[in-house]
Amino acid sequence: MKAIIYHNPRCSKSRETLALLREHGVEPTVIEYLRSPPDTATLQGLLRQLGRPARDLLRRGEAAFSELDLAARLDDEAALIAALVAHPVLLERPVVVIGERAAIGRPPEAVLTLLTDTTS
């Protein structure tokens, strides 16, 4: 089963999600997104796989969220994606992709839905 985790090793939820995947026999490709930020096409793909809008991937408590006045642009998908590309610290973490599906690991157990009914 091919899996990817967009991971921040300093984040406890991200570490817990990675450990949970491993406990279930999944050894994902780990992408430390602060070191290797996703580009626009990758983010658009993640959003499709999540079935969610870009605003759901934003960490609203980050300083950059306020500094960029993103609260006023939550319906501007292109602007939010551009902000995520330019400021990857805004990306909610972790994001796990298995096959054609993705989930945000908040709580970490949320990614377990990706392990059921998967043929990847």
**CB contact set of 45 (below 8 Å; sequence gap of 6+):** none
Rounded to whole angstroms, the Cα distance separating 25 from 64 reads 36
> Active site includes 11?
yes
For residue 83, give Cα distances in angstroms to 37, 56, 106. Answer: 12, 13, 21
Contact status, residue 34 vs residue 59, Cβ threshold 8 Å: no
Sort 16 into a burial class: Cβ within 10 Å, 0-12 / 13-18 / 19+. middle
Q: Which of 11, 79, 85, 112 is catalytic?
A: 11
What residues are labeled active site? 11
